[in-house]
Amino acid sequence: MEKTKNKENGLIRSQKSLYTKFKRINRLFKIHLSSLTLVFLLALGYIILWTYLVFTGQTIPELTQIYGLFGTIVTILITSVLSLLIIQIGIQIIFYGLFVIRGNRSLKQNKGEKIPKAAPYDGIVLYITNFYAFFNRYSKQKTTLVTRVKTFLFFNFFSGFFVIFLSTRILDTGSANVFINISMVIIFLLLVFFWLISLMTSFKIQKEIEKWEKLFPKLEEWAQELEQLSLENSIIFDEEELP
């Protein structure tokens, strides 16, 4: 009985340790998602404002002024690619947001419900299932989780970087409206600021992932141990009830 009790306590401590790590990484994902969402909204506002200025004749693209028709064609291509990148980021945010929401639900401890003593952190199994389901889409080949997360983070970095780069190609403060000029500059600077926050959070996520990836294989072992502990406790209880 004492041996079973010690094994149960050790299992609970292991679950608590991994649960704490998942809470921390999930918090980083929420920060990363928030910064990426702000990048998307600012980029969307930027391209809408710039398009409005062009169609209302309040500004003429710099490339058009220099190269004429060829400059106009290049500007249209830049705008099209920029718009596609913004749309791609928006779609990415939808799936990313669902991943974070499901993660929050998995890690939420329902204090009002009676939780089995041997498995107070059973949400970690749901979290890691959700984790793998989300990141599996970033690699068709069988790769490590760290590689998949790095691919995801690099994709976001790449998209944000090119949104900023292409935005500089159409950044034009030659509008007659001073307020609009200032607004475009402010939007662009905020875009760069939140992209940098997203980048720094990516480094933290990558560093954290590398620490606890080796713990994931233990989840299956824990599930089996929990099942065995429940069975042993049931047998012991039945034996104690015997006359």
User: Mind giving me the DSSP string for the chain?
Assistant: -HHHHHHHHHHHHHHHHHHHHHHHHHHHHHHHHHHHHHHHHHHHHHHHHHHHHHHTTS---HHHHHHTHHHHHHHHHHHHHHHHHHHHHHHHHHHHHHHHHHHHHHH---TTSPPPTT-TTTHHHHHHHHHHHHHGGG-SS---HHHHHHHHHHHHHHHHHHHHHHHHHH-----S-HHHHHHHHHHHHHHHHHHHHHHHHHHHHHHHHHHHGGGTTHHHHHHHHHHHHHHHHHHHHHHHH--
- Specify the pLDDT at position 218: 60
pTM of the model: 0.77
- Specify the pLDDT at position 221: 59
- Specify the pLDDT at position 151: 84
- Specify the pLDDT at position 175: 59
User: Domain residue spans in the chain?
Assistant: 2-238
Express each pLDDT in 162-216 by its tens digit. 999 888 887 765 555 778 778 888 999 999 999 999 999 999 998 888 776 666 5
Spans of the chain, pLDDT less than 50: 1-4, 6-8, 110-112, 115, 117-118, 234-243
